[in-house]
Amino acid sequence: MSQAYDTIVIGAGPVGSVAAHAFGERGDDVLLIEANPAAAARFAGEWLHPPGVETLDELDLTPIESAQGYEPGRGFVVFPDDGGEPIRLPYVEGRDGLSCDHREFVSELRDKASSHANVEYRSFVRATEVEPGRVRLEKERGDESRTVYGDLIVGADGKSSVAREPLGHSVDPEVVSYMGALMLHDFDMPFEDDGYGHVILGGPGPALLYRIDEDRVRMSLDVPIENETLRRDSEALYRAFEPVLPDSVASAMREALDNQPVQWAATHFQPHVHYGSDGIALVGDAVGSYHPMTAVGMTSGFQDVACLVDAPNLEAYRARRAHGSYVPELLSSALYKVFGGREQGAETLRSAVYKTWRTDEELCKRTMRLLSGSETRGRAFAGAFLKIAIRGAAETSVETMHQHGLTALTRVLATYVPWARWPLVSILPDRVQQRLRRKSTIDTPFALSA
């Protein structure tokens, strides 16, 4: 191993592997290190939106072999909890996403990076200290340690990033919920032939289904953090979700639970605020975490890389990505609250979302552009949110006024006030947004008392 590199990438997860390849392609002499290659054998990102696929394409990393041989990701079918028919939300402009097993996807990207002529890959090597221009490394097997030097250090080391520490931002992300994963074998999803991911609502949290290879369909079940029983007791888990699942899905879940343990993963929220400075750039989950419900983590991480490799300096990178990741972050938190939340107003908003999706084709398209990360303008998010919220409020108001009078109506309308923070914050000037964002949580983009 040499001592000095143009670029040192810490972490060979999906985003670090893409980063190492991209800097290698640019002509940099790159060192890519990975502490624990087996970390990718966990339940994590498996669905990639079309802009993520496009970014891989631009970075010369397609085709993805692990996603071949079955229908690509064409969009989502949402099974609403209002008794109505499933709602189809295709990606717009004819572009496809992809889905595949996380471990296989990372292994393929890592192979592409490590076989690049300009990339030196070292596994079982952990970065223990990072400073501008240098990284202290320790071998995971054996007690060897050494220092390497790089003009640029890229922290792609996930949510507990060591590269974030010298930037003074080592706060751990907030745990939001737990996602239980099951593998369904020899199972055809209800909208299988068209390549749609399935989102089933009305359970303790959203349930997702998508194909990850010819034989296997992933089922993931989001469970609120406080509901420990569902994590401990698979029978209770089945009983909690079964009433909202189509019959074929419920039987497949039953069979899977009889034959395999549920694989649990914590989901996190951390606002994307710190993109780096002083020769240290952060990418992917090292910057922040979205709730996985909108499956945007890897797409956003790959966009970080494409932006960083092109940016004239770190300040330009920070400004572009801080802006570009804000709407996806607001959307993932707001959608999780509307679809998973039990607080006041969530049910009405959910029902307004369903009605709007059933009747307003333009808004369906906008939803999918926002969801996939191809539309990141605050006013597009605010417009869609307000249209839905006004519809919900109007319908409830008429009903409440009619049945319970003006006082009740005032009380009901007051429950909408906290929801107004989401569209409001998305249209504030960048400077104000970034200040509020530092203290944002999954529950609120800013505290009302701030």
Ligand X SMILES: Cc1cc2nc3c(=O)[nH]c(=O)nc-3n(C[C@H](O)[C@H](O)[C@H](O)COP(=O)(O)OP(=O)(O)OC[C@H]3O[C@@H](n4cnc5c(N)ncnc54)[C@H](O)[C@@H]3O)c2cc1C
Give the containing element (helix H, strand E) for 134: strand 134-139
Task: Tell whether residue 180 is a contact of ligand X (CB under 6 A).
Answer: no
Residue 224 CB, nearest approach to ligand X (Å): 14
Taking residues 139 to 158 in sequence order and writing x for each that binds ligand X by CB under 6 A, - otherwise, the string is -----------------xxx
Task: With H, G, I as helix, E, B as strand and everything else as coil, classify residue 279.
Answer: coil
Q: Please answer whether residues 130 and 38 qualify as being in contact, where contact means their C-beta atoms are separated by less than 8 angstroms.
A: no
Query: Nearer Cβ to ligand X, position 72 or 345?
Result: 72
Residue 34 CB, nearest approach to ligand X (Å): 5
Query: Nearer Cβ to ligand X, position 285 or 348?
Result: 285
Residue 294 CB, nearest approach to ligand X (Å): 8
Phi, psi of 289 (to 5 degrees): -130, 140
Q: Please answer whether residues 8 and 120 qualify as being in contact, where contact means their C-beta atoms are separated by less than 8 angstroms.
A: no
Question: How many of the chain's residues bind ligand X (CB under 6 A)?
Answer: 38
Q: What is the largest CA-CA distance in the chain?
A: 77
- Write down the number of H helices and E strands in the chain: 15, 17
Residue 245 CB, nearest approach to ligand X (Å): 19
Query: Nearer Cβ to ligand X, position 20 or 352?
Result: 20
Residue 45 CB, nearest approach to ligand X (Å): 3
97: exposed, middle or buried (C-beta count within 10 Å: 0-12, 13-18, 19+)? buried
Task: Tell whether residue 14 is a contact of ligand X (CB under 6 A).
Answer: yes
CB atoms within 10 A of CB 55: 26
Task: Tell whether residue 206 is a contact of ligand X (CB under 6 A).
Answer: no
Residue type, 114: S
Task: Tell whether residue 369 is a contact of ligand X (CB under 6 A).
Answer: no
Q: Please answer whether residues 75 and 90 qualify as being in contact, where contact means their C-beta atoms are separated by less than 8 angstroms.
A: yes
Query: Nearer Cβ to ligand X, position 36 or 229?
Result: 36
- Cα-atom radius of gyration of the chain, to the nearest Å? 22
Residue 110 CB, nearest approach to ligand X (Å): 9
Residues 292-321 that bind ligand X (CB under 6 A): 292, 295-299, 301
Q: Which two tokens stand for residue 233?
A: 């007791």
Residues 266-285 that bind ligand X (CB under 6 A): 267, 284-285
Taking residues 15 to 44 in sequence order and writing x for each that binds ligand X by CB under 6 A, - otherwise, the string is xx----------------xxxx--xx--xx
Could you tell me the strand order of the sheet in which 216-224 lies?
87-90, 75-79, 196-200, 207-211, 216-224, 174-185, 263-269
- Report the interface residues with ligand X, using CB under 6 A: 10-16, 33-36, 39-40, 43-48, 126-127, 156-158, 162, 179, 265, 267, 284-286, 292, 295-299, 301
